[in-house]
Structure 1
Amino acid sequence: MTDLLWARIRRALDRFHAAHPWDHNAHYHRWIMRQLPRRFGSALDVGSGSGDLARLLASRAGKVQGIDADPAIVARARELTAPDAAVSFTVGDALSETPPGPYDVITCVATIHHLPFSDALIGFRRHLAPGGTLVVVGVTRARTLGDHLLGAAAIPSNVAVAWYKNKGREAPRPVSMTAPTRPATMTFQDVVRDTRRALPGARFRRRLFWRYTLVWRQP
């Protein structure tokens, strides 16, 4: 495939997805819930965005705390959350300003690559209650042939899901975050290596749509 043809394909895909947006992170929310107990006392959602996952966690938890560095999206999360819901949102840095726990559940979706990775994992471990569960959905930088092949395999699925989720919708779905994003710098191999040092026994899985998942339970 020539560079010119590939560039044309990229532009066509960009136009398609601009007209058919969908939330790749919310796609994994139901999977996250399947990793958690049916009921738990408290949860912390790091990088909570507009609060979709925090409100979902509240269907099982006694109390949920969301934290995000972007004041605008935290304000939006508060607007979308019922006053009587057991959910609160804080503007702050996840490493230094997390409301004290401990928490039975900590979730972090597409946020950890914005933080010092090992420091974040150690912080999560410190805030997690004994027997608690940490679930991370993250993004990595493609480096190996396998990375690029998995990314290429996701393209047709991404188009199909985008078309299905937008079928019959007149206006694009609102985004769940507004803060500037930055590309991941760590590879999947880097993530596995550093996590094994900080959280022995963590379980990893590579996913479609340019994501990986990490689950760890506090002894």
Structure 2
Amino acid sequence: MPLLPRRTLRALERFHAARPWDHNAHFHRWILRQLPERVGSALDVGCGSGDLARLLTGRAARVHGIDADPAITARARELTPRATPVTYTAADALTGLGGRSYDVITCVAALHHLPFPEALKAFRDHLAPGGTLVIVGVAREHTPVDHLLGIASIPLNVLMALLKNRGRPAPRPVSMTAPTRPADLTFSEIAREARAVLPGVRLRRRLFWRYTLVWRRL
């Protein structure tokens, strides 16, 4: 949001600090709509506290979540009922995937922490034939379209914060899964590299400073 005055930015930061909401969870239902009704296995890369992994059990018989942070994967295990078919591993997303393949691979706001083409190749190679890869990512604003979408997201972000918190400040800290560092690649760079690795991939700029990527392996 570089086009706003510094005073306005500070006011927005204070507002959202008091009324946080999870921008990534906002896309979870959309992710489910990209998937088949029922699959055998799913992998959530950068699973955090496991919110999406648990949702994926509605589509997959087995779900595995992987995250580089041992503390957050421990929290995911605590939040997941014992009978839920979800397992978690604290490991690097590229070296910890093992030799298994999955019918579904998801990755939400984690890809910009990884070497981009290498991560896409790893996801591709671990996706079973007929499988679906769904990514919600973060890109660096660069073009006028990027900045316009960012500006349009500002009032919507305020509205969502009010709706999610029913107009009141949050009574206690809310666990968030927002990115911890800015993205390096622009959307155009992401699209160019993704098309080189994943022929037929579909990408789209989104509101709330996100983009989406969907690819189905033949």
TM-score norm. by structure 1 comes to 0.94
What is the SS of the residue equivalent to 1:120?
Answer: helix
What is the SS of the residue equivalent to 2:196?
Answer: helix
1:32 counterpart letter in structure 2: I
How big is each residue's C-alpha offset from its partner over 1:1-37, in whole Å with a ceiling of 9 and x where there is no partner? Answer: xx9x811110110000000000000000000000001
- Does 2:150 align with 1:158? no
1:175 counterpart letter in structure 2: S
Q: Is this contact kept in 1: 2:66–2:89, CA < 8 A? A: yes
RMSD: 1.6
Task: Name structure 1 gaps, 5 residues minimum.
Answer: none
What is the SS of the residue equivalent to 2:5?
Answer: helix
Counterparts of 1:97 and 1:170 in 2: how far apart (Å)? 37
Distance apart, 1:144 and its partner CA: 1.4
Distance apart, 1:98 and its partner CA: 1.2
Q: Which residue of 2 aligns with 1:136?
A: 135
2:114 counterpart letter in structure 1: L
Q: Which residue of 1 aligns with 2:84?
A: 85
Map 1:37-48 → 2, pairs under 5 A: 37-48=36-47
Counterparts of 2:7 and 2:84 in 1: how far apart (Å)? 48
Counterparts of 2:162 and 2:95 in 1: how far apart (Å)? 41
Map 1:94-133 → 2, pairs under 5 A: 94-133=93-132
2:158 counterpart letter in structure 1: V
Q: Which residue of 2 aligns with 1:147?
A: 146
Distance apart, 1:92 and its partner CA: 0.3
Q: How many residues align?
A: 215
Counterparts of 1:65 and 1:39 in 2: how far apart (Å)? 16
How big is each residue's C-alpha offset from its partner over 1:128-155, in whole Å with a ceiling of 9 and x where there is no partner? Answer: 0000000000000011122111101100
2:90 counterpart letter in structure 1: V
Task: Name structure 2 gaps, 5 residues minimum.
Answer: none
Q: Which residue of 1 aligns with 2:174?
A: 174
What is the SS of the residue equivalent to 1:122?
Answer: helix
Map 1:44-55 → 2, pairs under 5 A: 44-55=43-54
Map 1:175-194 → 2, pairs under 5 A: 175-177=175-177, 181-194=180-193
Give the direction of change, closer, same or farther, for the CA distance of 1:82–1:100 in structure 2 (3 Å limit).
farther
2:6 counterpart letter in structure 1: A
- Does 2:69 align with 1:65? no
Q: Is this contact kept in 1: 2:45–2:106, CA < 8 A? A: yes
Counterparts of 1:37 and 1:23 in 2: how far apart (Å)? 25
Give the direction of change, closer, same or farther, for the CA distance of 1:169–1:100 in structure 2 (3 Å limit).
farther
Q: State the identity as a percent.
A: 63
Q: Is this contact kept in 1: 2:139–2:187, CA < 8 A? A: yes
1:174 counterpart letter in structure 2: V
> Segments of 4+ in structure 1 off by > 6 A?
none
Counterparts of 2:32 and 2:60 in 1: how far apart (Å)? 11
Distance apart, 1:174 and its partner CA: 2.8
Q: Which residue of 2 aligns with 1:27?
A: 26
Distance apart, 1:101 and its partner CA: 1.9
